[in-house]
Structures are given as C-alpha cells and as structure tokens.
Amino acid sequence: MSKTSRTLITMPKTASKGEIIEIKAIVQHDMETGFRHTEQGKLIPRDIIRVFTCQYNGAEVFKADFFPAVGANPLLIFTVIATTSGTLQFSWAGDDGYLATNQSQITVT
C-alpha cells in the first residue's frame, strides 16, 4: 500500500449555530488484514489504517481506532455540532507510514 491515498469528505458547507451536522468520511485503502494468504500459501502482511481523527478549528472532536476487522475503503459517518465558522481537519494514519489528510470549510450563522 502506498503512503497516502484519496479521501472523500461529504458534509454541509453551511449550518446554523448549534445544528448537528453529519459527516461522511471515506478513504481509499485495501485494509490488508494480515490473515490472508497468497495462492502459494505465503502470508500477506497486515497493512491497515490505525487511527482516524477529526479536528474542528484545532480541537479534536472525534477519533476512531481501526482494527483489521474494519472493511476495505473504510467509511465513517458521524456527527458534530456546528459551533463557529472554520475548518474541519481530517486525518488517517496507519501502518507503513501511511498518512492521509483532508479538510472542509464550514460557515456557521
């Protein structure tokens, strides 16, 4: 697996103050479990994303620890309260120095 890959964030661009918004975060990653074998019987080593974090204007609001049982191209749908305008920062870190980041702006009125 390469050191980074595509990510996709789906969330509203605007919200009213106090509104609970839904965020969909999906990342392109095989999530090799470490339990599969090649046809020759050789074990394919584990290579997964281990941590996902979401920061809202620098403060961590959501985090998830991934284990090998998380499916390929991991999807997370979670919520956040829209408080102030600013940036939501997303990051995925994993085995073999894997790191992917994405961000989304939100305007809160």
Partner 1 sequence: MCPLYSRVVILVGLQLMLFHATQLSAADPRQSSYQLMSTENKAMQDDPSLNPATFAILDGQSAWQEKLGSSNQACASCHGDAAKSMQGVATRYPQLVDGKLTNLEGRINQCRVEKQKVKLLPYESKELLSLLAYISVQSKGMPIQIMATPATQPYLEAGKRHFNQRIGQLNLSCRQCHEERAGEKLAGIPIPQAHPTAYPIYRLEWQSVGSLQRRLRNCMIGVRAEPYAYGSKELTELELFLMMRANGMPLEAPGVRP
Partner 2 sequence: MKNQRRQLLKALGIIGLLPLQQAHATPEEAATAINSIIGANTVKEGRVQLELASLIENGNLVTIKVSTDSPMSQSDYVKAIHLVAERNPLPNILSAYFTPQSGTANFTTRIRLADTQRVWAIAQMSDGSFYQTHADTLVTSSACSEGFI
Residues that bind partner 1 (CB under 8 A): 5-6, 8-10, 13, 24, 26, 28, 30, 72-73, 75, 104
Number of neighbouring beta carbons within 10 Å of residue 30? 13
Selected binder of partner 2 within 27, 70, 88, 106 (CB under 8 A)? 70
Q: What is the distance of C-alpha 42 from the center of its chain?
A: 30
Q: What is the distance of C-alpha 8 from the center of its chain?
A: 9
CB 11 within 8 A of CB 24: yes
Provide the mask over 28-67, with x wherever binding to partner 2 is found by CB under 8 A and - wherever it is not: -----x-x---x-x--------------x--xxxxxxxxx
Greatest extent of the chain over all pairs of C-alpha atoms, in Å? 59
Residues in contact with partner 2 by CB under 8 A are: 20-21, 33, 35, 39, 41, 56, 59-81, 83
